[in-house]
Amino acid sequence: MAFNIVTKNTVAERFKYAPRPDVWKDVESKDWNNWIWQQQKRVKSFEQLEKVVNVTQEEREAFQATNESFNMGITPYYASLMDKDDPNCPIRLQSVPNKAELNILEGDMEDPLAEERDMPVQGITHRYPDRVLFYTTHNCPVYCRHCTRKRKVADPSSSAANKQIEDGLAYIEAHKEIRDVVISGGDPLSNSDDRLEYILSRLRALDHVEVFRIGTRNLVTLPQRITDNLASIIKKYHPAFIHTHFNHPKECTREAFDACAKLADAGCVINNQMVLLKGINDDPKIVKELNHKLLMMRVRPYYIFQCDLSQGISHFRTPIESGINIIEHLRGWTSGMAVPHYVIDAPGGGGKIPVLPNYVVKHEGKKWVLRNFKKDQFEYIEP
Ligand SMILES: *Cc1c(COP(=O)(O)O)cnc(C)c1O
Ligand code: SF4
């Protein structure tokens, strides 16, 4: 059989590097591609933001009104993805303050998922029988305006001190039913490589811990953080899963592609947890494009989260119907691999509840009437 051997995989070339806005035009590549440089040069003041995009009066007022309660912080890399002129650019909406954040609705809650209530020790949320969330830092490279943990993130007083890490590890060690640890934050990759390795090695030393996940948005906001050294550390402690948070196809750059490749080549399974956000991704076409790009990046769409009831994010919330509509437009119409679970994290700590379009038309005794993605009906008779 004759065939042409592909000597070069060109999928990477379908992904474009982030553009370099004028303010950072003269930065040397070795700095730009260095995560510590990116971290140190984060856009935190309005004067800095004005040099990157044409800000609006609204954004100025929103910054002044919100900066004390929830800081702005944007890596130059993520800021470079912003549209200079469009305040409704999905990157801008996710990272630049908005006046709507000041609206606190009656139903809004400080801790809608009751993560503090289900906290047996500081730093651990234990809600499900066999797995826990483990908070290891309060810091993130970009402070997402829709963050569900606004109450903690960016607040240095809630920083995970060494004692909190030790208490968390001791709790996991004492609870033999825990087989899955979700390492979270903030963003756990804000920890140094050494600290992260310390946590991973301590977890891996426990016989009852089977898998862990690193819940990080660095692939989206600071892909430079995925260094060879980091990948080689994670590789030592497999099975390691990476849970990340891409929300829009604009975030699927060549930098992000390369970061995912490094982790996937190191043997990590990467899953994506998108948050459904009004005006950003509440459109089946956008989610389909995002999920197709993610699959090319070796990232599997895992969850779509309904936006929760945290304070000051009501402007991002969509009707639940939007989420159902997205699944309706994915299932059957594209690869099953591109169809995540749409879930609502129940207010009050009920956990994640899946919501689906209704595919069962009728069920009587042994007869089930089902409908497919094209709404054609079929009968299935049980034996
Ligand atoms: C989301 C979450 C998990 C992990 O849930 P999976 O459905 O297994 O991904 C674990 N603990 C808490 C408190 C969570 O919110
Ligand atoms: S990266 Fe995650 S924890 Fe950090 S601000 Fe964004 S949504 Fe919140």
> What's the pLDDT tens digit per position in 106-130?
889 888 988 888 899 999 999 999 9
**Contact in structure between 226 and 265 (CB atoms under 8 Å):** no
Cβ neighbourhood burial of 368 (10 Å; 0-12, 13-18, 19+) = middle
Classify domain 124-354 by CATH architecture.
Alpha-Beta Barrel (3.20)
Report the C-alpha gap between 16 and 139 in whole angstroms. Answer: 28
Asked if 254 is an active-site residue, the reply is no
Q: Which of 41, 42, 92, 131 is catalytic?
A: 131
Residue 150 CA: which ligand 2 atom is closest? 8
For 74-112, what is each residue's pLDDT tens digit?
999 999 999 999 999 999 999 999 999 999 998 898 889
Distances (CA, A) of 230 to 192, 236, 237: 9, 10, 12
Q: If you take atom 7 of ligand 1, which residue's CA is the nearest one? A: 352
Q: Is 297 in the pocket of ligand 1 (CB under 6 A)?
A: no
Q: What is the DSSP letter of 6?
A: P
Q: Is 144 in the pocket of ligand 2 (CB under 6 A)?
A: yes
For 159-202, what is each residue's pLDDT tens digit?
567 899 999 999 999 999 999 999 998 999 999 999 999 999 99
CA 158-241-187 angle, to 5 degrees, is 20
Preceding omega of 19 cis (within 30 degrees of 0): no
Cβ neighbourhood burial of 124 (10 Å; 0-12, 13-18, 19+) = buried
Proximal ligand: closest to the CA of 124: 1
Q: Is 128 in the pocket of ligand 1 (CB under 6 A)?
A: yes
The three-state secondary structure class of 368 is strand
The average confidence (pLDDT) of the chain is 95
Report the C-alpha gap between 76 and 374 in whole angstroms. Answer: 45
- The structure's pTM equals 0.96
Residue 218: both structure tokens together: 């660095």
**Contact in structure between 293 and 244 (CB atoms under 8 Å):** no
Residue 118 CA: which ligand 1 atom is closest? 13
**Contact in structure between 231 and 200 (CB atoms under 8 Å):** no
Domain boundaries in the chain?
A: 17-102, 124-354
Q: What is the pLDDT of residue 84?
A: 97
For 266-307, what is each residue's pLDDT tens digit?
999 999 999 999 999 999 999 999 999 999 999 999 999 999
State which amino acid sits at residue 162.
N
Asked if 345 is an active-site residue, the reply is yes
